[in-house]
Chain A
Amino acid sequence: MPGGAERVLRRRIGTVKNTKKITRAMELIAATRVARAQQRANAARPYAEQLTGVIENLAAAGADVDHPLLRQVENPQKVAFVVCAADRGLAGPYNSAVIRSAEREIQAHRSDGGEYRIISIGRKPKDYFTFRGYEIDTHFSGFTDNPTYEDARRVARRVRELFDSGEVDQVELVYTEFVSLGTQRPVVRRFLPLESTETVAAAGGGDATALAGYSFEPSPEGVLEDLLPQYVEARLFAALLDAAASEHANRQRAMKAATENAEELITKLAREMNRARQASITTEIMEIVGGAAALEEDDEVAA
Chain B
Amino acid sequence: MAFAIEFVSPERILYSGEGTMVTARTRGGGDIAFLPGHEPFIGSLQTSEVKVTEVGGDLLRFAVRGGFVSVTGDKVTVLSDLAVPAGDIDAAAARADLEVADIALGVDDLDPFAIADKKWAELRLTLSGATVD
List the interface of chain A (C-beta within 8 A of B).
40, 43-44, 46-48, 50-51, 53-54, 57-58, 148-149, 152-153, 157, 209, 211, 213-219, 222-223, 226-227, 230, 233-234, 237
Contacts and interface: CB of A to CB of B under 8 A. Distances in A.
Interface string B63-106: 00011101010000101010000000000000000000000000
Contacts of A227: 44, 68
Contacts of B26: 217-218
B42 interface: yes
B27 interface: yes
14 contacts: A53-B70, A54-B42, A57-B42, A149-B9, A157-B113, A209-B72, A211-B40, A211-B72, A215-B39, A223-B42, A223-B43, A230-B79, A233-B10, A233-B81
Contacts of A230: 67-68, 79, 81
Contacts of B28: 217-219, 222
Interface of B: 8-13, 26-29, 32, 39-44, 66-68, 70, 72, 77, 79, 81, 113
Contact of B11 (A50, A148, A209, A219): A148
A174 to B, nearest CB: 22
B10 A237 contact: yes
B10 A54 contact: no
B83 to A, nearest CB: 11
B11 A226 contact: no
Q: Interface of chain A, helix or strand or loop or mixed? A: helix
B27 A226 contact: yes
A215 B81 contact: no
Nearest to B13: A46
A45 to B, nearest CB: 10
A119 B66 CA distance: 27
B70 A54 contact: yes
A80 B83 CA distance: 31
B110 to A, nearest CB: 15
A50 B77 contact: yes
Contacts of A48: 10
B33 to A, nearest CB: 13
B42 A214 contact: yes
